Amino acid sequence: MFRMKNSIRENNSILVLSEIINRPEISRAMISELTGLNKATVSEIVRRLIEDDYVIEIGPGKSTSSGGRRPILLTVNKKAGISISFDVRYDRISYLITFLDGEKIEYTIEEKNIDKENIVDLITVVVEKYKAEYLDCPFGIIGVTISIHGIVHEKQIDFTPYFNLDEIDLVGILEEKTGLTIHIENEANLSALAEAAFDYEHHNIVSFSAHTGIGAGVIMNDQLYRGFRGKSGEVGHTVLYPNGTACPCGNQGCLEQYCSTTAVIKKFRLLKGNPDLMFEDLIDAYHQKDSSTLNMILQFAKDFGIGLMNVIGNYDPEVVYINSELLEEIPELISLLQHYLSMTIYKKVPLKQSLLGRQASLYGATVVNLKEFLHVDNVEFNMNIEKVLEV
């Protein structure tokens, strides 16, 4: 059952807890050094955090060069609660269950058509299952966050181009049914939070997502930038070709209609005159060096590059992470895109293929759950990313 302790709301407690959760292990002395709090204050806060189940001791560390008593190391009590994340597309729902340190418990994908009629039951079944399994856990389910491929503002879905979830109060209905706090956020925004949680070097990041639609999540000075009404990074609905292909947003020629995975597959089917061709057929044709497919992919890369340059020009990031099934299967396109950038004023901005892939938004949702529950500003995952991707 969800619960919160009053002690966690104290600023100094939050400061201490932030240092503990963002490191695999740390001593009281190191916390004092990093936070500037005196050792007595740190010891009292740690005592309460242990008492309240947020933190555990894991044994002695190494002695300093001057000798003396070995410090007792601390870490987050990862099994005191679980986080549940969902990613919802019109043709698929996936979910990720983790402990409080981000360690994976379960990751599941279900391919099926999603709409306002079935989404509540699909999510509720999973939540109730884990609520029962972790009933005796100190915190139980600490939060549920849902990744939406659309525009989200103030806990409401304002626009979803390919399904009708904007016609219901998804958060309100789920909170009433589950008794838990529910968060929703745009998929690209969550992907950006995930990249930031694994990237300790950069503080200004863009995560460029191209799946059923296209969006960019923007991290500025370590904080997610949403814009005035949650539309920051909606680059999929910027115009690439004036008077071009009609888009569900009401515009014509949107980038999404040319560079999303859905749009590329549609173009491939038209090119080959076969409406039954799938993504795998497109990839096979490319690797078999089919000339018409190669030309189509080359045009895709040019269009995609324009979208990237527009995003970089708007937000001036230190690095851009690209999350796209197409680029996962054809990784050499990253070099081609970097070549396009090299001829512009954006040539010093590195492009990186996201290693998180389709799990990016789910880990970003985990970040939201942890930040909201623990009342901390930032969450870092101190895990090997290859281990994270193990299914």
Shortest CA distance to 182 belongs to which of 156, 144, 227?
Answer: 144
Mean pLDDT throughout 248-269? 95
Both 132 and 217 in one domain: the answer is no
Both 324 and 259 in one domain: the answer is yes
Model confidence pLDDT, tens digit, residues 262-275:
999 999 999 999 99
Model confidence pLDDT, tens digit, residues 180-205:
999 999 999 999 999 999 998 999 99
Cα–Cα distance, 74 to 61 (Å, whole number): 10
Of 76, 103, 124, the one marking the end of a domain is 76
**Could you tell me which residue, 29 or 230, shows the higher pLDDT?**
29
- Count the Cβ atoms, other than its own, within 10 Å of residue 336: 16
Range of the domain at 10: 6-76
Shortest CA distance to 390 belongs to which of 117, 125, 104?
Answer: 104
Both 204 and 304 in one domain: the answer is yes
Q: What is the CATH number of the domain that holds 66?
A: 1.10.10.10
Asked if 202 and 316 touch (Cβ cutoff 8 Å), the reply is: no
Q: At 1, is the pLDDT very low, low, confident or very high (cuts 50, 70, 90)?
A: very low
pLDDT at 391 over 60: no
What rounded mean pLDDT belongs to the chain? 92
pLDDT of residue 2: 31
Count structural domains, the chain. Answer: 3
Both 341 and 211 in one domain: the answer is yes
Asked if the structure places residue 1 within a domain, the reply is no
β-pair type (26-27, 72-76): antiparallel
Residues near 383 by Cβ (< 8 Å), separated by ≥ 6? 101, 102, 103
pLDDT at 291 over 80: yes
pLDDT at 94 over 60: yes
Q: What is the pTM of this model?
A: 0.90
Cα–Cα distance, 98 to 104 (Å, whole number): 4
Q: At 225, is the pLDDT very low, low, confident or very high (cuts 50, 70, 90)?
A: very high
